[in-house]
Chain A
Amino acid sequence: MKKLLALVLCILLICGAVCAAVADEVKIVFCVNLQPQLPLEFWQSIADRYMAAKPDVKVEIIGNPSSNVTLPQYEKTLLGTNQFPDIMVMQNPADFVPSGALLAFDEGDLDYLANPDVGKIGGRQYVANYKKQIIGVFYNKDMFAANGIGEPQTWQEMVDLCEKLLAAGIQPFSMGLKDGWPQSVLANMFAGTDLLAKDAHWGTKRNADEVKFDNPDLVKAMEKHQTVCTKYCGANTAGITYTQMLELFFTGRAAMLPIGSWVNAEVAKAEHDFEVGWFPMPGDDNADVLSVYVNEGLSIGAYTKYPDICKDFIRFFFTDEALYGKFLESEQLFSTTKNAVEYDMIPLRKEMEARIATMTEVEGFESMTGDDAFLPGLKDYYTNKMTQNIAIGMDVTDALDDFDEEWEIAKEAIDDAA
């Protein structure tokens, strides 16, 4: 009996010690965007480096469980079930800020960023923006040369070159609607040249209800989107995925790929027997306007018990140059830090950097940040419904009217909640 009692006491003591040790341990959960270029191993390597530097902190990595669930959807599920992470990759802060889910950074917290003010919502910063991406048209230089075509400088030149390619039996653009989002990148290019180039903060005016989506500039932009999707992308876009879009372009079955600079990673690794070039989508009169995405970065959950450790982790991510460089290299990205970060760039990426230096930058329409951002939920509506409907031939004015109606509903919900 005494032996049994002694054994029970020992077990209780061990359990107590373990519990005390666990209680002392600081654990933060980091929700990441899992994708082929940035797999779990990459994010785990960041956590491992941080844990090696700060042994008293444990970082657990979680990520969207399936490619069928987008990161914002997954994060909304976590928030709705009281499992919101401490730190997370944030693609659409405007969806989360109104519900008070994100912690605002203090002045000076992001002093390592070149422009810590980009994307402020209501004067406060909720995202440490970690990359800049540009959108434009990748093209098959050999195919252009063989058909005597140069880079277009105006929209009319773009239409003419598409007609010339069609006449030569070549599909001008590679495009797929099956995954939803790729076609919206094209729509953003036109919204950038025709709308945001005239008024970079048009989004703020829309949110103040001073303008409508159904306005002549956006109608013109979306009509261009429809023209490209219905006339110059082949007959079966509805069944084509993003991966197939890449395949069509890199196997030389389409002359152009309208997409973001992240495709540089594919240019570097995908097999192709032609030289790839890049140009910005031209507007009516020039090709000087560039749409950029600066919406994605790292955010801190408002319910975290360890805000200072979370800020320290984010600083570590940006200031460990080897780590941040590896991140940038994954998609040949543009850095957002004050100090330039070197990594192994492909020639096309260097060429793009030199070329965009003199261009006018506007934010990607659907990914406008801060007070310009779409109201909660509308980014998905724009991507998955409005631009897709236009791409398959819906009347542009009707589609934009529907978008205005959705805006009214979203605004009403915010007003009701307030």
Chain B
Amino acid sequence: MKHNKLHDFLLAMPGFLIYTVFMIVPLGMCFFYSFTNWDGISPKYKMIGLKNFRRLFADADFYNALKVTLIITVITVLIYNVLGAVLAVFLNRKNRACSFTKSAIFVPAVLSSVVVAFIWSYMMQTDGGVINAVLGLIGIAPFDFYATPLRTIVMISVIIAWNGLGLFVVIYMATLSTIPTEMLEAAEVDGANGIQRFFRVTLPLMMPGITINSILSIAGGLKQYDHVKVITGGGPGGATQTITLLSVEKAFEYNRRGYSSAIILVLFVMIVVLSVIQLSITKRREVKY
């Protein structure tokens, strides 16, 4: 079949147009508005240069949101990748118990994040929540999940991880299935014990999965919005606010769309930089055989 460039171009056009309209144009607009004082509702605005960025880097709310976002990202990345990898290794067997556990872990991943957040927020109510009701039945005092901002953030991170863990386990299991059994058998013959086989053979060969999961989990953590929005709304007083929540608050409550665009642009740069660094580290460690 003769290679036809026009044909290729036409086939790529729908995807390219959709990507342009929903990704490139909004990103360009975000970039543009970050240099304006647009309030989001007025037809008028002015170019104000780097003023939004100067204000952003002196804004205590931004640094608090950055801290909250990073805590969530670190906790979720660790759970997704450490617990996810360990579970994948243990569940990479063919028996009924493993099949059931795999399904049980994956079910939350198909639920909407908003639904999950609502369910958990009802369960964790100090007064009338099912968790404290059960604790009460066994004589334990109610646990206040919202007692301090840090406790609340950790709790939200665990909920996010519970919601998404299944997907990461599946990716790790798919990676494990590509590892030839001969290599593990050869290591066993050479006298390697289970731990040595995991760290010297399995883990290096899982690197492609680690690369994908790390990028997905870091980007997902930094973009976190929905769970926090439903469970605390970022409060009290912005104590559990993530960067995306802060951006939405500035845009839609305080009428500062230009400033909000600057926040999102900084977040975008953070995600790109972290992803590139992380990609360069893990790619180097990928093993070819």
Report the nearest B residue to A378, measured CB to CB.
B254
CB pair B147–A101 under 8 Å, yes or no, is no
- The prevalent SS among residues of A at the interface is helix
CB pair A392–B255 under 8 Å, yes or no, is no
- B residues 25-41 near A (Cβ < 8 Å) are 37, 39-41
Given contacts A76-B255, A178-B146, A381-B254, contact A417 B37 (CB under 8 A): yes
Given contacts A76-B255, A236-B144, A389-B237, contact A68 B230 (CB under 8 A): yes
CB pair A388–B37 under 8 Å, yes or no, is no
Q: Report A377 CB to chain B, min CB distance, Å.
A: 3
- Chain B residues lying within 8 Å of A77, measured Cβ to Cβ, are 252
A-B contact pairs, 30 of them (CB 8 A): A68-B229, A72-B253, A76-B41, A79-B41, A80-B40, A99-B39, A99-B43, A100-B42, A178-B232, A178-B235, A178-B236, A180-B233, A236-B126, A236-B127, A238-B147, A239-B124, A239-B144, A239-B145, A240-B126, A381-B253, A384-B253, A385-B238, A386-B237, A388-B237, A389-B236, A391-B237, A406-B254, A410-B255, A416-B37, A417-B44
Which of B39, B147, B232, B256 meets A236, CB within 8 Å? Answer: B147
Q: Does B125 belong to the interface (CB within 8 Å)?
A: yes
Report the nearest A residue to B60, measured CB to CB.
A402
Q: Report A133 CB to chain B, min CB distance, Å.
A: 22
Binary B-proximity of A117-128 (CB < 8 A = 1, otherwise 0): 000000000000
- Chain B residues lying within 8 Å of A180, measured Cβ to Cβ, are 233, 235-236
- Chain B residues lying within 8 Å of A72, measured Cβ to Cβ, are 253
Given contacts A178-B232, A240-B126, A392-B236, contact A416 B46 (CB under 8 A): yes
Q: Does A248 belong to the interface (CB within 8 Å)?
A: yes
Q: Does B204 belong to the interface (CB within 8 Å)?
A: no
Which of A80, A235, A247, A391 meets B41, CB within 8 Å? Answer: A80
- Chain A residues lying within 8 Å of B239, measured Cβ to Cβ, are 392
- Chain B residues lying within 8 Å of A68, measured Cβ to Cβ, are 229-230, 233
CB pair A409–B55 under 8 Å, yes or no, is yes
Q: Does A177 belong to the interface (CB within 8 Å)?
A: yes
- Chain A residues lying within 8 Å of B124, measured Cβ to Cβ, are 239
Taken together as a complex, chains A and B put the C-alpha atoms of A377 and B249 apart, in Å, by 10
CB pair B126–A410 under 8 Å, yes or no, is no
B-side interface size class? 35 or more
Q: Does A95 belong to the interface (CB within 8 Å)?
A: yes
Given contacts A77-B252, A236-B144, contact A244 B41 (CB under 8 A): no
- Chain A residues lying within 8 Å of B152, measured Cβ to Cβ, are 238
Which of B229, B234, B252 meets A73, CB within 8 Å? Answer: B252
- B residues 132-183 near A (Cβ < 8 Å) are 142, 144-147, 152
Q: Does A144 belong to the interface (CB within 8 Å)?
A: no
Taken together as a complex, chains A and B put the C-alpha atoms of A239 and B240 apart, in Å, by 13
- Chain B residues lying within 8 Å of A417, measured Cβ to Cβ, are 37, 39, 42, 44-46
- Chain B residues lying within 8 Å of A178, measured Cβ to Cβ, are 146, 232-233, 235-236
Taken together as a complex, chains A and B put the C-alpha atoms of A177 and B238 apart, in Å, by 11
Q: Report B47 CB to chain A, min CB distance, Å.
A: 10
Q: Does A26 belong to the interface (CB within 8 Å)?
A: no
Taken together as a complex, chains A and B put the C-alpha atoms of A162 and B63 apart, in Å, by 38
Q: Report B114 CB to chain A, min CB distance, Å.
A: 9
CB pair B37–A413 under 8 Å, yes or no, is yes
Q: Report B91 CB to chain A, min CB distance, Å.
A: 35
CB pair B237–A377 under 8 Å, yes or no, is no
Which 6 A-B residue pairs are closest in the complex by CB-CB distance? A377-B254, A99-B42, A239-B146, A389-B237, A380-B253, A388-B237
Which of A73, A96, A101, A179 meets B253, CB within 8 Å? Answer: A73
CB pair B40–A76 under 8 Å, yes or no, is yes
- Chain A residues lying within 8 Å of B39, measured Cβ to Cβ, are 98-99, 376, 413, 417
Q: Does A394 belong to the interface (CB within 8 Å)?
A: yes
Report the nearest B residue to A99, measured CB to CB.
B42
Which of B61, B145, B235, B249 meets A177, CB within 8 Å? Answer: B235
Taken together as a complex, chains A and B put the C-alpha atoms of A296 and B264 apart, in Å, by 33
Given A244-B128, A417-B45, output 6 extra A-B contacts at Cβ < 8 Å. A100-B42, A236-B142, A384-B237, A388-B237, A413-B255, A417-B39
- Chain B residues lying within 8 Å of A406, measured Cβ to Cβ, are 254
Taken together as a complex, chains A and B put the C-alpha atoms of A389 and B45 apart, in Å, by 32
